[in-house]
Amino acid sequence: MSTKQRSRKHLCAAALIAPALFLSACGSPEPSTGGGGGEAEAGGGGSLSIATGGTGGVYYPLGGGFATVIRDNIEGYDATVQETNASVDNMLLIENGSAQLAFSVGDVVADAVEGVGEFEGNPLEICSLGNIYNNFMQAVSVDGTGIASVEDMAGKVISVGAPGSATEVAALRILEAAGIDPETGVERRQLGAAETVAALRDGTIDAGFWSGGLPTGALIDLASDGDMVLVPIGEYAEPLASEYGEYYVAEDIPANTYEGQTEAVPAIASPNLLVASPTMDEQLQEDITRAIFENEEALIQVHPAAEELDAATAGDISYVETCPGAQTYFDEAAG
């Protein structure tokens, strides 16, 4: 492992095992309970609420970093983070105005735009401030369950992710691709990352899914027990992409991402987007995008997923419009 990889792993472990402490040290705001931001949308200053995810994942700490760079770089604006069930809920929070910015995985964003899946008959008006980093769908079990493949999950107790999360959306699709009826073929639980780890430890579930950046804090913690098993799922990327869209790509979880993981494990990667309402002031869209992409080094100190920030490609998304203010910044950066 290179020096950079070792330092990156150690930084992430420190940031994610105790995200609230790390965010406090970085000066990030306390979580918001929602609401507010009316003045912000009019371009007159105010507070922006960022919908993130659970504290055991990546959205929450990275969202705290975004809040800090917004506060430090955009005059008149503050920002707070909301802990949520992640992607699906986050899109609804944008729609009802309870959040002005939100993280979401590409498949959920596409469903929201098209009005399908969880958004059946209710297409949402949203736009993207850019592709931020790739999520990895991770299937995890522990020694003694006999689960080494998705097919082995048949008849077992499986966490498919928190309700209203991108994890749940993708997990159900993966089970179906493996020939398992997610309604009758497994005993389903709906748990977030931290809850999934706790349930694996106490034996109340046999395996669970989690969609997040690498490495995920809750899984760092589980790997420290010495019996974590990463279940390969990369073979399902192609059938999912064929049926649902280009936002499912086979990609390995590199060896040594987690303690005791000595070999690469085939997984499924999907882009994570930062989403806003198209009614947000265009200058504010541009200023937020600039603040994020021009403060990459500061954001890497919060979470190494920020190393993937790239203004040259962040607007290259086919299934949702790029916010016009963000596009102005990307065009300027490219010039």
CATH number at residue 69: 3.40.190.10
On whether both 29 and 100 belong to a single domain, the answer is yes
Once rounded to an integer, what is the mean pLDDT over residues 91-117? 95
The rounded percent of the chain whose pLDDT value lies above 90 is: 77
Q: Answer yes or no: do 238 and 295 share one domain.
A: no
Residues 308 and 64 sit within 8 Å (Cβ to Cβ): no
What's the confidence (pLDDT) of residue 43? 52
pLDDT of residue 36: 42
Give yes or no: residues 277 and 319 share one domain: yes
Q: Are residues 264 and 298 in the same domain?
A: no
Mean pLDDT of 227-250: 94
pLDDT at 172: 97
For the entire predicted model, the pTM comes to: 0.75
The top-scoring range by mean pLDDT among 13-17, 22-26, 110-114 is 110-114
Q: How far is CA 332 from CA 127, 183, 290, 321, 335, in A?
A: 19, 49, 10, 18, 5
Angle, CA of 124, 130 and 133, to the nearest 5°: 110
Residue at which a domain ends, from 271, 287, 303: 271
- Count of Cβ atoms closer than 10 Å to residue 137 Cβ: 29
Q: Which domain holds residue 47?
A: 3-133+272-334
Which of 71, 74, 139, 129 has the alpha carbon at shortest distance from 104? 129
Where among 271, 294, 313 does a domain terminate? 271
Average pLDDT over residues 168-176: 95
Give me the pLDDT at residue 247, please.
84
Task: Using the structure block, give the residue that is written with the tokens 């993130």.
Answer: 52
Query: Percent of the chain, pLDDT > 70?
Result: 87
Place of tokens 């969609």: 211
18 and 120 co-located in one domain = yes
Do 70 and 147 belong to one domain? no
Indicate whether 47 and 173 sit together in one domain: no
Q: In total, how many domains does the chain have? A: 2
What does pLDDT average to over the chain? 88
State the helix-helix crossing angle for 19-26 and 59-73, rounded to 10 degrees: 10
Q: Are strands 46-51 and 77-82 parallel, antiparallel or unpaired?
A: parallel
**Exposed/middle/buried for residue 22 (C-beta within 10 Å: 0-12, 13-18, 19+):** buried
The pLDDT confidence band at residue 266, using thresholds 50, 70 and 90, is very high
Query: 246 and 127 in one domain?
Result: no
- 103 and 145 co-located in one domain: no
Query: Which of these ranges, 8-22, 106-120, 219-233, has the smallest mean pLDDT?
Result: 8-22
Q: Residue 215: is the preceding peptide bond cis (ω within 30°)?
A: yes
Residue finishing a domain among 227, 252, 271 = 271
